[in-house]
Amino acid sequence: MTDTAVRGVLVLDRDQTRAALPSDELLAAVRTALVSISRGEASAPPRVAARSAHGLLGAMPGYVPQLGLAAKLVTVFSAVTAGGHGAHRGIVAYFDDETGRPLAVMDAETITAVRTAVTATVAMRALARPDVKRIAVIGTGTQARAQIALIAPMESTELLVGARDPRNAEHIVARLGSGSVTSVEAATRHADVVFCCTSSREPVLRRSWLADGVHLSSVGGSDGPEFDADTLRASSLFVEWPGAVTEPPPAGAWELQGTDPAQAGLIGAVLDGGHPGRRTAEELTVFKSTGHAALDVAAASVAYRVARERGLGLSVDL
């Protein structure tokens, strides 16, 4: 992808990064990235991190054919925001994959939140039953808000927001003008699909709360497991990449440590037709997301192209 017509490096702030990520285009790019992972075409080493007393700095470089080359530097610090939620802050750099020239720098927190929500939604569409009526989102932080914003416009579904702090959830629902707030347990028990988007250090979901046939997308848990071991034992498991099982945290998932790698299907293989995905209406399906650099590449490729088309950002000489 040689871009010789444009000089300088495009810099996108938080709002500009979000404006350059239309959902339909990002859904398509994320699907491409997930299939590329399952085919072994994407190049992305396991995430590495340097830890301080209060959090970590992770590095995630990646390359995806058709989408390009990018790297994310992101900090994960717990309880640093006004609401007491963890935060993922940093930058994503996007490069010309033919010349190596840096093309853009954009907000990593926005990239992470939006591409994670889109990935979880792609997994839901691939694995959930077709008769979904109620969707629960557990959490009220940055990731939960990104997920709610993505699914709220869906027709013929009821949104439930399960929260330990109902006041935060009420503010989110009030801004949307739709949805209802309840406890984590009640939201889980009444949902056909559950998105768990928390920074919890211990399980917030229990198998006994999940009805047969539910689909769970767990995208949080940087510092600990979001769901209990009984949920894992009872479910058909899907992941973005094999390292979700085989690598230790922060690259791998806390919930999946010690799991037989053969138990985990790749969501990209489901999208590509190589794995059947859900087999019965009663099956409990779980998609555990750890994040993957190929997904940052997908989001960065969309953001760069859309920002150039719409004249967003500031071009600087670097």
Do 166 and 282 fall into the same domain? yes
Residue 3 lies in a domain: no
Residue 33 has a pLDDT of: 98
Do 75 and 127 fall into the same domain? no
Q: How many domains does the chain have?
A: 2
Do 150 and 276 fall into the same domain? yes
Do 152 and 268 fall into the same domain? yes
Do 146 and 227 fall into the same domain? yes
Residue 5 has a pLDDT of: 53
Domain that holds residue 66: 9-112+293-313
In this structure, the dihedral spanned by the alpha carbons of residues 129, 224, 253 and 211, taken in order and rounded to 10 degrees, is -20
Residue 144 lies in a domain: yes
Q: What is the CATH number of the domain that holds 58?
A: 3.30.1780.10
Do 105 and 202 fall into the same domain? no
Do 143 and 163 fall into the same domain? yes
45 vs 274: CA distance, rounded Å: 24
Per-10-residue mean pLDDT of the chain, 318 residues long, equals: 69 98 97 98 91 90 97 80 61 97 97 97 97 95 92 89 89 86 96 95 96 96 91 98 93 95 97 97 97 97 98 95
Residue 3 has a pLDDT of: 53
Residue 318 lies in a domain: no
Residue 2 lies in a domain: no
* Those residues with Cβ within 8 angstroms of residue 141's Cβ, 6 or more apart along the chain or in another chain: 81, 83, 85, 86, 197, 198, 199
216 vs 253: CA distance, rounded Å: 15
Q: What is the CATH number of the domain that holds 271?
A: 3.40.50.720
Residue 255 has a pLDDT of: 96
- Beta-ladder partners of 313: none
Do 180 and 50 fall into the same domain? no
